[in-house]
Chain A
Amino acid sequence: MIANLVALAAEEEQNPLIPPGPELLIGTIAFAIVFFFFWKKLLPNINKVLEERRAAIEGGIEEADAMKVEAQSVLEQYKAQLAEARHEAARLRQEAQEQGAALIAEMRAEGQRQREEIVAAGHAQIEADRKAAASALRQDVGKLATELAGKLVGESLEDHARQSRVIDRFLDELEEKAEATR
């Protein structure tokens, strides 16, 4: 086959493996033009667009991610606030309870104190009154006794009627006195 080709080539003085000059030139120019356009204009163009597309897709994904993260953080924030509010409410309730209890205890103590004060005052008053009464009584009894003794000594004791009259009189006087002092 190859021998045949070579023979033929020799015959026609045209070897297909010896490229003619003009074709080489045209081939070079034709390819150079293609390469030039691809290199300088077309591929930079499309690369820019592909890059933009990639950025757009990635940007979209990133944006979605950012929104998700934000939503998550807001949710957590709300949860934290809710928990805090619950905690605060519980704390307030407890505080109120404690305050209430303290108030009641205080009031009870105060009541107790007042009651004791009043009782003590009552006792003291009674005691004072008793003492005053006792001392007044003792005085009066002494005086009365002396008076009565004087009267008894002054009058004849024989006369029973007189004697009882005297006593009656004395007691009446005594009553009158008591009436008067009242």
Chain B
Amino acid sequence: MSDNGCGFPAPGLHSFLFKPIATVGGFEFNKVMLLALITTLLVVCFFWAAFGKAKVVPGKIQMIGEAGYDFVRRGIVYETLGKREGEKWVPLMVSLFFFIWIMNIWSVIPLAQFPVSSVFAFPVVLAALVWILWVGLTFKRHGFVGFFKNVTGYDKSLGAVLPLVMLIEFLSNLIVRPFTHAVRLFANMFAGHLMLVMFTVASWYLLNSWMIPAAGVSFVMTVVMILFELFVQAVQAYVFVLLACSYIQGALAEHH
């Protein structure tokens, strides 16, 4: 714990570490894992309620589910991959979007109050999945040489700078891109959580005698940050899926 001498329990990395709530055969099960599993349960249950017994004339839940489904399908997948190529990627992208979004939303849910995606492991799993698909698909579509050209952005007209461009592109596509894909989501949620914790704790900490107005400001900021985080959570889920689609699209495209 960092202690700056005034007793303010400043949030830090320790805010992202949890003691195991149960240990099953050496496997330490903590709050984040629990939230991840509840996320799965929530997403599956909601969409089961919406689509399990789907009707031609939809009920309320089905309507909401359809709106969400349509947003990802038409708004993201068809927009980037086109209807013909995109169709078979719809299940993956829909799963990614709602899984990530609900993981993010935990940030502002009372009692949970922790975005699952601010633990790097979760974005990493999803980004790695997209990366593996991208690599596999590029191989499948273009063969070994095609893959190499695709990944390195091979273009004869570049002349002398070609080796440099190829090196940069290679590093960018194969190493930096999946990393940033995961970090973008992780860091946004991480920072958001830090801000929320900071203002929440400060509202409480400042709540004595002459500091009370400052506590009020801090509380207002907490509310503002919650609203802002709600926006960021949706945007990050959207961006993650949009990027996944654009990477897949790059793999399917004829040339770079």
Contacts and interface: CB of A to CB of B under 8 A. Distances in A.
A22 B27 contact: yes
B33 A37 contact: no
| Interface size range of chain B in the complex | 35 or more
B55 A35 contact: no
A26 B37 contact: yes
Contact of A26 (B14, B36, B95): B36
A72 interface: no
A20 B120 CA distance: 8
Chief secondary structure at chain A's binding surface = helix
B13 interface: yes
A8 B94 CA distance: 37
B146 to A, nearest CB: 28
A5 B40 CA distance: 31
Given A26-B33, A39-B91, A31 B126 contact: yes
A42 B52 contact: yes
A8 B91 contact: no
A34 to B, nearest CB: 5
Interface string B88-118: 0011101110110000000000000000000
Interface of B: 2, 12-14, 16-17, 27-29, 32-33, 36-37, 39-40, 43-44, 47-48, 50-52, 54-56, 58, 62, 65-66, 69, 90-92, 94-96, 98-99, 119-122, 124-126, 129, 183, 190
- Closest 4 A/B residue pairs (Cβ): A23-B121, A19-B121, A27-B125, A49-B54
Given A35-B95, A56-B56, 20 more contacts: A9-B13, A16-B16, A18-B120, A19-B119, A20-B121, A22-B27, A23-B32, A23-B122, A24-B124, A26-B37, A27-B122, A30-B40, A31-B126, A34-B43, A34-B95, A38-B47, A38-B94, A41-B52, A46-B62, A49-B54
Interface of A: 5, 8-9, 12, 14, 16-20, 22-24, 26-28, 30-31, 33-35, 37-39, 41-43, 45-46, 48-50, 52-53, 56
